[in-house]
Structure 1
Amino acid sequence: MRPPRGAVMVITSAEDITANLVIEALIERDVRVARVDPAEIGDALSFGARMGAGREKWAGRLRTPSRDIELDDVRAVYYRRPTPFSARFAHLPVREAEFAAVEARHGLGGLLEDLYGAAYVNHPAAINRADFKPAQLRMAAQLGLAVPETLITNDVSQARKFAAEHGPIVYKSFRGVPREPADRVAAIWTQRVAEHELDDSISVTAHLFQKEVRKSADARVTVIGRQVFASRITAPADTLDWRGGDPDQIGYDPVEVPASIERALRAYLDRFGLVFGCFDFALEAVSDQWVFIECNPNGQWAWLPDSAAMAHAFADVLIGG
């Protein structure tokens, strides 16, 4: 089989292990791959693009220490997790840093998000639309998926009333917390909240509360193009959020996704303009009902048992365009 024409651009940071698996799968198939972190703009990344004089799309080149690529030669883009532009200009005074980051985001970032004719997995605009939990929960409910009773508020009286009606309830952050110094990642795991713990500090910002799902296990369903990968995730008894537990005590087993849920997930991706998504479900202990928790439109999957097969599924999508 002849390798496909055109290159695949992988937009991500240098430390992205998940992207490495996809790059390896593409190289195995003799696909030309250009790994680009836009935040390296400067001596390590230069570019030039022109349009006009009869041109209807941007044409030009992008150069890194290891790649020299024609922009109109890119057939597909795997958009992962590039370094924020703000990190590139952190050494500048605040005002200059903000200006440089915005200009880079709209100039270089704008070009990389508008490569005409290239297939995106996923396009940053689609990721952004699908990244908000209110939209995720609304879409899931409209597609017939079970969704926990949910309240989003900054009103302590509403929060207390919700806890009284639906307790036990849990609190979840919308996006987690910023990175700590030395680029260490912090997290706020799902946590139980009692009515008496709710106070006026809730008014400071938005909070998400849900009725707790009494579950026997969790499920992670990863949809890549037309391929579906699913694992049943088990943790020690009374574990509320398996992500914060001891990895050695977490079990992963293949699980079959009910046909009705698989149809809903495909429709979910279609409506958000996504090609790929990582869906989390809680499996109710009594009924074994699949309860939708969230979808990460740009999620991690390298830690899952079938990550090698997933990498090749990504390669299939990117090669197919």
Structure 2
Amino acid sequence: MSVDKFIQKPLSENMKQEAPDHDIVMSTRVRLARNLKDLPFQLLITDSQAEEVIKRMEETLRRKPPAFIKSLELIRIDPLSPLERKVLVEKHLISPFLAEEARKGAVILSDNEEVSIMLNEEDHIRIQTLLPGFQLEEAWEHANLIDDWIEEEMDYAFDDRRGYLTSCPTNTGAGIRASVMLHLPALVMTKQINRILGAVNQVGLVVRGVYGEGSEAQGNLFQISNQITLGLAEEEIIDNLRGVVRQIIDHERAAREMLKNSMPLQLADRIYRSFGLLRYARSMETKEATSLLSDVLLGVDLGLIEGIPSAELNELWVMIQPGYVQTYFAQPMTAEERDEKRATLIREQLQKYFI
């Protein structure tokens, strides 16, 4: 199957839809880790056994999937170029591990990119559902339906006392990792972010960067997810995460209101300066671009900048990443060339709203 249709557009139409709390929550993801009971886990698996995982999933694909899925395509990772893999990571359709380290890796993607089933990643099967905005229950419900669909054909590695057995002990148990990507510029500006995130770590949740474990936060984006799966039911994990994220959303909204009321001139000046740089700069690194884009997105959400849909800025967030810049201009580039082309791309995209 061709990967082209999944890398040509920075965001699927599904991810551009208006969703609950979309002004603060960029996306919601639920991921389930599963292994097959009759095959060695990834650390000891052979190439032929890894191929067997893919073969069994191909057989499962012949069955009708859950009703909410229109179609699924299996894409093998090995034939993909490094650039194609990078774009899939930037779009959160595969993990950095699957792109760089997996043996005989593959991914099954739905047309609308809501569903991503990674094969031979850290575990045999990683089921992922990705939705816009704050939709934890919906993402969990869809992941659970896919899990049941697969389990009708395969026997998972499961222990009555420990739950689902996984390569990493932290996933053993429910095997679920639920996460919410939050845009928190006001908490950063008001210097409340460290206190808020410190409290998150004390209630069994973890804060990660844009691309998960080991990555850094970019553009005031923070990924909040559960850390513990052993001894907890999936619904408990979802409920706990939902409650904490709801509090963070409330804190961010209060911080935005405080900035508007206590320092309106300074806030507007910062947002419009960032907007001006994005509209006219001739060279721009990724880190700077995401920081400026964060300010502009805040300006749009607060009504200070009109005429630009927030969904278009979310799409631009993907387009300015290193892999997508090279894909957009259809050529490999040095870091310096990427910085120049990134600035060009941003100017072109923003110019559409000011003709």
Which structure has the larger Rg?
Answer: 1
Q: Shorter chain as normaliser: what TM range?
A: under 0.3
Give TM-score scaled by structure 1 length. Answer: 0.28
Give TM-score scaled by structure 2 length. Answer: 0.26
Greater strand fraction, Structure 1 or Structure 2 = 1
